[in-house]
Structure 1
Amino acid sequence: MIKKVGQIMVYVHDQDQAVKFWKDKMEFHVISEHDNGQGMKWIELAPAAGAETTIILHDKQLIAKMQPELNVGTPSLLFFTEDLDELYSDLKAKDVTVGEIVSMPSGRVFNFSDSEDNYFAVMENANNK
């Protein structure tokens, strides 16, 4: 049986720019970087040390060429935060494109986009405190 989500593959056009966004704007940590010496590299990032789920950044064009049947579209990711207002203000101050804060039955949420205009969401989750 599957017990947790380990890694989420995110396919990007510019890995270096994507790493810069996730590190500088979102304050993620680079966990590891791999290069197979044949043109394929991937970078593993996490929101904090010891995070159970990490993001792996892959080169979109290379993966699409290697596996044409693979969907290299951006996954719809929902992140949790303990202080939505603070994160929202922080991202706006860092010139990250953010949407309006919206109240949903499950909590307050907003969208943000990365450097390639891929959109993700953040929800306030007091249960993760």
Structure 2
Amino acid sequence: MINMLGQVMVYVNNQEEAVNFWTEKVGFTVISDNNNGQGMRWIEVAPSKNAETSIVLHNKELISKMQPSLNLGTPSLMFFTNKLDELYSDLTNKKVTVGEIVEMPNGRVFNFADDEQNYFAVMEKK
């Protein structure tokens, strides 16, 4: 039986830029950086070393050649924070594209985009 979500695959055009975005701008940590020696590299990033769920950054072009039928679209991810205003200011100061903060029934939320214009959301739960 499934008991947790372990990893989310995100397919990117430039892995180095994606790693820099997630570590330098969002504050994630590189958990692992793997290369199979045949040109396939995947980098695992997460909010912390002991996070239960991580993001694995894959080379979109390579994966599309290996698995042409795979959906390479960006998953719709919702992150949670206890410091929404501080995160919003931090991302804005780092020139990250952010949307307006919106009040929802279960908390405040805003969207942000990586350098490839993949959008994600972050919520401060009530």
Q: Alignment RMSD, CA only? A: 0.7
Q: Distance in 2 between matches of 1:50 and 1:4?
A: 14
Provide the aligned length of Structure 1 versus Structure 2: 126
Matches within 5 A, 1:32-51: 32-51=32-51
Q: Distance in 2 between matches of 1:15 and 1:49?
A: 20
Q: TM-score with structure 1 length normalisation?
A: 0.96
- Counterpart in the other structure of 1:90: 90
Q: Distance in 2 between matches of 1:57 and 1:5?
A: 16
What are the ranges of 5 or more consecutive residues in structure 1 without an aligned counterpart? none
Q: 1:106 offset after TM fit, Å?
A: 1.3
Q: 1:125 offset after TM fit, Å?
A: 2.6
- Counterpart in the other structure of 2:110: 110
- Counterpart in the other structure of 1:60: 60
Query: Helix, strand or coil: the match of 2:23?
Result: helix
Q: What code does the residue aligned with 1:26 have?
A: V
- Counterpart in the other structure of 1:79: 79
| Identity within the alignment, % | 67
What are the ranges of 5 or more consecutive residues in structure 2 without an aligned counterpart? none
Q: Distance in 2 between matches of 1:52 and 1:7?
A: 8
Q: Distance in 1 between matches of 2:94 and 2:84?
A: 15
Q: TM-score with structure 2 length normalisation?
A: 0.98
1:58-85, Cα deviation, whole Å (9 max, x unpaired): 0001001100010011000000000100
Q: Distance in 2 between matches of 1:114 and 1:75?
A: 13
Runs of 4+ with >4 A deviation:
none
Q: Distance in 2 between matches of 1:96 and 1:68?
A: 31
- Counterpart in the other structure of 2:18: 18
Q: Distance in 2 between matches of 1:87 and 1:23?
A: 14
Q: What code does the residue aligned with 1:44 have?
A: E
